[in-house]
Structure 1
């Protein structure tokens, strides 16, 4: 493949090496691309391009002026670029500069890039590798991913089973945004913050465990992960922010501690599968349409999810929210299946139900308390039998696959 800017030698004959009084907005034709740019204070900012070549090599100078920045949205949505090479002269890359480039696989960053704005390379599902000049003091390549200051994951590039570098302290905005092939993510205990929309649009992600080290979740950080089934939030999370799990339509298991004090607007919007969720009394505020709501295309407005239930305690914010939204509210936790009250459903519970059923069948009287009998009656037919035991085992198996 020809180099994109092999015409530079010829261009040097035409243009002076001294930065001249160039027009504020200009275009230059190079092999495969027509680059548009602006000149200000004798520095060039690339603003976009036209063309269909696959390799984009940003020039280090144009018309004798150094190319020092790539503007916001400059190459957003470009469907042709596969390889992007950014020279040492570039100091800044604007927001969404290369966002939503579906075929971009490789990025090379020069030694002087000192600022990369939010979402600069997000929603690039084919991105596999990022190379950073080793002399760059701000950005680096760790395990093929782009890091800022050695501990902030700016952009993930890798395979579908993501294992995050063990010294990562923060996951920045949009780090995994639109990585539709990601099926699993392992977060180390070093992570403290997960920023806005960090995992939004990870369409194949099925489960996530947020470690106890994480103290802050950003807005919409798991939004539109529509295969996400199971979420376990660590004990240091105190707020579930707005849009956090918006449109996670497969979500059926959510676990969080009594340390959570607020649930933001639309946090669980369109999450029908978590009907029956228990919201602890520690939660003092629940935002607009936070849970039990979905969008009705006929009325162009939010509506209650049919049959949705919220569990909680009397006098709690959960009860108040359910009442205001006209959502069914039940007092206390759902103990169904948890016969031994250890907070989980497993084979021990199923075995206990089978043993109780054997006693009832042979002697007509069992050993369960009233509460245990209620928990054992999975199908609600007011008796404890092998059908309940089988159902509890099936539920245990289902949870294990999440």
Structure 2
């Protein structure tokens, strides 16, 4: 009988302890219950460094981390979000300056405006495949964030979403992204390479402003708009390549303003208009290829381009007239795939330049002409096709 009594008392103490832990955890959360019996966390009042948000509050499943609910909780280093949650609302974790890890479960579809803004210690975040929208400034000024991989349902990179992420080195984008909004990556000073594949895309104003370590930007697909100052202040930018543009496409004002490492640039086919100061302050710019379809060219275009050697233009085009009217050096050049050095011939010199490029030598070449299979990248397939062409094999360079 005594053993039974002890066992009963022990069970009671254990059960009561568990209940106390559960109640105390719940006591740290303020919440509301919606009409459809869902709990929305409205405020965290605890002082824990590791926070495990309960899956139920008040008998209702927790479905939303509410606006500003963890705002300024500077002690928190890690947060576990339950699988019942579908949305993280605006500024939910803003100024959680010690937050290093956040577990976002499958089922979350929305990360709201500024949700993790100023989370300076956040190093990594795994985004679920269910996520379809990341609102503006969601990760702005997350100074320790090094890598981001966006799930396939994301179609827009909203305004300032990664602005000021000074440690960001790698981005992985889905192929369905159709817009990079204003200042999306502004001030990402550790980003060195950026590549994306898309059907069509708009890159808005100052999207990559002051990405001072960015050396290469490769975009496979048809751009519909490149906004004002999109690459302003990208002082290390050396290589930029866009796919063929759509009709009536315009290069906006000052896209490459102050890109002091840019030496060669090919304006993609389809660009109808080029606005003022496109290359202003590009002090090392040497050559620019302007396609025959370009009908409007801003003035001034090359302010401060003291090392400009030549514009490559087609005969009987507006670009040729522009060069003559402004006393700019030019070379009349009829584009052909494989003519890597733009001398009007496809020969072993072109193959040699392409091999040097693949060996990571710094060479002056026409990247569009070097992409002989038109897949948006320059690699061993291109040199193989070029060598076959020079050996009189039955191969075709360019679009088939």
Question: Using the alignment, how far apart are the partners of 2:318 and 2:234 within structure 1?
Answer: 30
Task: Identify the match of residue 107 of structure 1 among 118, 125, 141.
Answer: 125
Question: Structure 1 399/277 Cα, relative in aligned 2: closer, same or farther at 3 Å?
Answer: closer
Task: Identify the match of residue 245 of structure 1 among 250, 253, 256.
Answer: 256
Question: Using the alignment, how far apart are the partners of 1:307 and 1:111 within structure 2?
Answer: 48
Across the two proteins, how many residue pairs are aligned to each other?
304
Task: Identify the match of residue 292 of structure 1 among 299, 302, 311.
Answer: 302
Question: Structure 1 222/56 Cα, relative in aligned 2: closer, same or farther at 3 Å?
Answer: farther
Residue 229 of structure 1, CA deviation = 0.8
Preserved contact between residue 171 and residue 198 of structure 1 (Cα < 8 Å): no
Q: TM-score, normalised by structure 1?
A: 0.54
2:364 paired residue number: 399
* Structure 2: segments with no counterpart, 5+ residues: 1-19, 35-41, 51-63, 335-339, 353-360, 368-400
| Cα distance per residue 1:197-220 (max 9 Å; x no partner) | 554444333233333x22324424
User: Which residues of 2 match residues 275-314 of structure 1 at below 5 A?
Assistant: 275-280=286-291, 282-287=293-298, 291-293=301-303, 304=304, 306=306, 311=311
Question: Using the alignment, how far apart are the partners of 2:298 and 2:23 within structure 1?
Answer: 61
Residue 250 of structure 1, CA deviation = 0.9
2:78 is the alignment partner of 1:55: yes
Question: Using the alignment, how far apart are the partners of 2:30 and 2:226 within structure 1?
Answer: 49
2:90 paired residue number: 71
Residue 72 of structure 1, CA deviation = 5.2
Task: Identify the match of residue 150 of structure 2 among 141, 146, 149.
Answer: 146
Question: Using the alignment, how far apart are the partners of 1:262 and 1:334 within structure 2?
Answer: 20
| Cα distance per residue 1:280-324 (max 9 Å; x no partner) | 4532334576x323xxxxxxxxxx55566774689947866997x
Question: Using the alignment, how far apart are the partners of 1:89 and 1:272 within structure 2?
Answer: 50
Per the alignment, in what secondary structure is the counterpart of residue 125 of structure 2?
Answer: strand
2:101 paired residue number: 83
Give the structure with the higher percent strand: 1
Question: Structure 1 199/111 Cα, relative in aligned 2: closer, same or farther at 3 Å?
Answer: same
2:235 is the alignment partner of 1:226: yes
* Structure 1: segments with no counterpart, 5+ residues: 1-5, 34-41, 131-144, 294-303, 351-395
Residue 12 of structure 1, CA deviation = 3.3
2:201 is the alignment partner of 1:193: yes
Preserved contact between residue 280 and residue 305 of structure 2 (Cα < 8 Å): no
1:28 paired residue number: 45
2:216 paired residue number: 207
Preserved contact between residue 216 and residue 240 of structure 2 (Cα < 8 Å): yes
Question: Structure 1 172/345 Cα, relative in aligned 2: closer, same or farther at 3 Å?
Answer: farther
| Cα distance per residue 1:194-246 (max 9 Å; x no partner) | 533554444333233333x2232442443433211122332235332344323
Question: Structure 1 84/328 Cα, relative in aligned 2: closer, same or farther at 3 Å?
Answer: farther
Question: Using the alignment, how far apart are the partners of 1:51 and 1:67 within structure 2?
Answer: 24
Preserved contact between residue 160 and residue 181 of structure 1 (Cα < 8 Å): yes
Residue 53 of structure 1, CA deviation = 3.7
Question: Using the alignment, how far apart are the partners of 1:255 and 1:331 within structure 2?
Answer: 14
Task: Identify the match of residue 341 of structure 1 among 317, 340, 343.
Answer: 343
Preserved contact between residue 286 and residue 321 of structure 1 (Cα < 8 Å): no
Residue 163 of structure 1, CA deviation = 6.7
2:13 paired residue number: none
Task: Identify the match of residue 136 of structure 2 among 114, 118, 125.
Answer: 118
Question: Structure 1 70/51 Cα, relative in aligned 2: closer, same or farther at 3 Å?
Answer: same
Residue 252 of structure 1, CA deviation = 0.7
